[in-house]
């Protein structure tokens, strides 16, 4: 069933995720009326010889010079010089989410675009068409100029695009998709590129992925504690209320639901290592940070990021800086910090689990026959490499401002770099989560006790059903991804289930 997105309604992160596949984008009468109303106002303003950036002027540092007299020529003037991006093409889901964010922003009727521009974006999203957009070139200051320029050019039939996953000339891809090349004038072209839609889309998609990993680590921490026979008092509600942080209180409550019924073995030390004992505090702090990122993304999804903006009822054309992606830059950098620490927690938990000195006597590396077999040894090595990669790339982008564009852009947020970076990191975090989940499934096979908490039991049951034990050794890259898939779809709290995940499961 095709998802429907109404441009008259608030845009949601779920809409961006759905746009990975063809979606039906509704451009209803309310949207059409306000876009048309502002477009008529723009014509009146230009007829009065009032200055309008990008319509009567050059761009960026060349604003003091006149633009081309013909408005359609002015579209070429806008887009041609932006064909300067480099690097690999962005992931299709990011590009399509970007197009949806841009369509919503333009549909608010403050940008002065032709109605057919919004229609063209909506039509594109109803197909598998994906503009080929180079990764490098945006500083996120006048919006995502170079990448959005590639989107606009592809819609005109210039450059390259994908259709059904095949890279073609944009003209051929449009033809095969049943789409017409998009005619633009200078205002249309500038409105397509002068916004932070790529930064917003990538941050939103990364947030969704990190949220899923954060939920999974909460469940897996409970399962780890249960398999080891740890005392669950580290989740005590009174303890966490005294801590005072809302995220920790809420994370603790969720983890108590998952671990409800956990019976300590009495064989563990009084106090567990921090990777278990301090998990609600760490994951709670992550929850507080994720809530802030969510508020920024929500504001960005409801934002008109463009310049200038048109307010026909007030007879105003207002020039300013709504294309400056500083909020998302800060938010994406914060999200990167969350990824690094949640990933570090999961990697340390896996390290604890494979260590016979700390895992309650389970075999080293959870190998079914140590020496003849090596169990999770390769997976644990790869997890260490993954968290090292995340850490190496965690330097905040938003503090790297440097001047460009003849000092017209003398401060820049670099939100695009921050957003694309954390999108990549979220994918690595998911693999670390899958690695820990696979380790817990294997621990149940090589001698860990049967979970005593029904919620933990059902989480393990889902993993056991999807993944055979590692006996004998085999390549485990696919199993890591499959375990991550299981955790993505797991719903907790769950109903009780009797499960034996040991060697005879």
Pairing relationship of beta strands 3-6 and 23-26 according to DSSP bridges: parallel
Q: Which uninterrupted H or E stretch holds 140? A: none
Three-class SS of residue 166?
strand
C-alpha to C-alpha distance for 270 and 231, rounded to whole angstroms: 8
C-alpha to C-alpha distance for 313 and 19, rounded to whole angstroms: 34
Q: Could you identify the residue written with the tokens 């991006």?
A: 85
Crossing angle of helices 279-301 and 246-259, in 10° steps, is 120
Crossing angle of helices 197-228 and 145-155, in 10° steps, is 110
- Cα 356 off chain centre by: 37
Three-class SS of residue 346?
helix
User: If 0-12 CB within 10 Å is exposed, 13-18 middle and 19+ buried, where does residue 154 land?
Assistant: buried
Rg of the Cα atoms in the chain: 26
The DSSP code sequence of 401-434 is ---BTTTTB-S---HHHHHHHHHHHHHHHHHHHH
**CB neighbours of 486 closer than 8 A, spacing ≥ 6?**
437, 462, 463, 466, 467
Residues tagged active-site: 53
Q: What is the DSSP letter of 194?
A: S
**CB neighbours of 86 closer than 8 A, spacing ≥ 6?**
134, 135, 136, 137
Q: Which uninterrupted H or E stretch holds 485? A: helix 477-489
Q: Could you identify the residue written with the tokens 């970076």?
A: 421
C-alpha to C-alpha distance for 222 and 261, rounded to whole angstroms: 11
Q: Could you tell me if 163 and 128 are in contact, meaning their C-beta atoms sit under 8 angstroms apart?
A: yes
The DSSP code sequence of 52-68 is -TTTTB--GGGTTSB--
Please report how many Cα atoms fall inside a 13 Å half-sphere around the Cα of residue 351, on the Cβ side: 16
């Amino acid at each position: 069933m095709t998802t429907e997105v109404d441009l008259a309604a608030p845009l949601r992160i779920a809409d961006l995720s759905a746009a990975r596949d063809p979606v039906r984008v509704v451009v209803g009468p309310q949207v059409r009326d306000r876009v048309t109303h502002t477009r008529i106002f723009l014509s009146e303003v230009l007829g009065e010889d009032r200055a309008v950036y990008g319509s009567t002027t050059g761009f960026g540092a060349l604003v003091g010079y006149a633009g081309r007299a013909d408005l359609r020529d002015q579209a070429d003037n806008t887009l041609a010089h932006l064909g300067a991006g480099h690097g690999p093409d962005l992931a299709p889901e990011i590009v399509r989410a970007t197009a949806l964010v841009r369509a919503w922003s333009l549909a608010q009727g403050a940008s002065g675009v032709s109605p057919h521009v919004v229609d063209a974006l909506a039509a594109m999203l109803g197909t598998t068409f994906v503009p080929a957009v180079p990764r490098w070139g945006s500083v996120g200051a006048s919006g995502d100029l170079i990448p959005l320029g590639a989107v606009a050019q592809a819609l005109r039939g210039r450059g390259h695009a994908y259709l059904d996953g095949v890279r073609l000339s944009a003209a051929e891809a449009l033809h095969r998709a049943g789409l017409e090349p998009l005619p633009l004038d200078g205002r249309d072209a500038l409105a397509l590129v002068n916004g932070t839609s790529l930064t917003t889309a990538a941050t939103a998609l990364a947030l969704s992925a990190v949220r899923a990993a954060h939920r999974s680590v909460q469940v897996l921490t409970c399962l780890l504690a249960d398999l080891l026979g740890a005392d669950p008092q580290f989740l005590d509600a009174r303890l966490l209320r005294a801590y005072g942080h809302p995220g920790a209180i809420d994370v603790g409550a969720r983890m108590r639901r998952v671990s409800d019924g956990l019976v300590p073995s009495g064989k563990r030390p009084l106090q567990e290592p921090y990777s278990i004992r301090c998990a609600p505090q760490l994951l709670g702090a992550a929850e507080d940070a994720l809530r802030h990122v969510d508020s920024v993304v929500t504001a960005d999804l409801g934002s008109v990021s463009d310049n200038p903006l048109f307010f026909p009822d007030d007879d105003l054309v207002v020039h300013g800086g709504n294309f400056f992606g500083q909020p998302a830059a800060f938010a994406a950098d914060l999200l990167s910090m969350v990824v690094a620490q949640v990933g570090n927690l999961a990697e340390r938990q896996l390290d604890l689990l494979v260590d016979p000195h700390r895992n309650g006597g389970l075999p080293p590396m959870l190998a079914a026959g140590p020496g003849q077999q090596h169990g999770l040894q390769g997976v644990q090595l790869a997890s260490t490499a993954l968290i090292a990669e995340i850490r190496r790339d965690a330097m905040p982008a938003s503090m790297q401002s440097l001047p460009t564009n003849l000092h017209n852009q003398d401060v820049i947020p670099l939100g695009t770099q921050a957003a694309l970076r954390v999108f990549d990191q979220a994918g690595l975090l998911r693999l670390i989560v899958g690695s820990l989940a696979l380790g817990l499934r294997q621990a149940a096979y090589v001698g860990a006790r049967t979970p005593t908490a029904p919620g933990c039991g059902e989480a393990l049951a889902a993993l056991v059903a999807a993944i055979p034990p590692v006996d004998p050794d085999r390549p485990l890259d696919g199993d890591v991804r499959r375990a991550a898939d299981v955790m993505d779809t797991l719903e907790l709290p769950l109903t009780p289930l009797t499960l034996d995940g040991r060697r005879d499961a």
